[in-house]
Amino acid sequence: MPQEEQVLVVERRVVDEVGSFHGLNFDVQKYLDALFAQGQPRFIPRPQAEKDPSFKQLIPYVVMTCEDRFLTYVRGKRAGETRLVGNRSIGIGGHINPVDWTLFSADFYKTYCEAVEREVSEEVCVEANHADHVVALLNDDSNEVGRVHLGIVHCWVLDAPNVTKREQMITQMDFLTVEQLQAVRDTMETWSQLCLDGLPQVMSRIESAPQSDARI
Average predicted confidence (pLDDT) for the chain = 88
- Domains along the chain with CATH numbers: 6-208 (3.90.79.10)
Per-residue burial over 45-71, b if 16 or more Cβ lie within 10 Å, else e, is: ebeebbeeeebbbbbbbbbbbbeebbb
Percent of residues, the chain, with pLDDT higher than 70? 88
pLDDT digits (tens, 9 = 90+) for 14-28: 999 999 999 999 999
pTM for the model stands at 0.90
Cα–Cα distance measured from residue 75 to residue 115, given in angstroms and rounded to the nearest whole number: 22
Instruction: Describe the crossing of helices 199-208 and 190-197 by its angle, rounded to 10 degrees.
Output: 60
Q: How many CB atoms lie within 10 A of CB 27?
A: 12
Adjacent-strand bridge partners of 51: none
Q: Which residues neighbour 111 within 8 Å (Cβ) at sequence distance 6 or greater?
A: 100, 101, 103, 104, 105
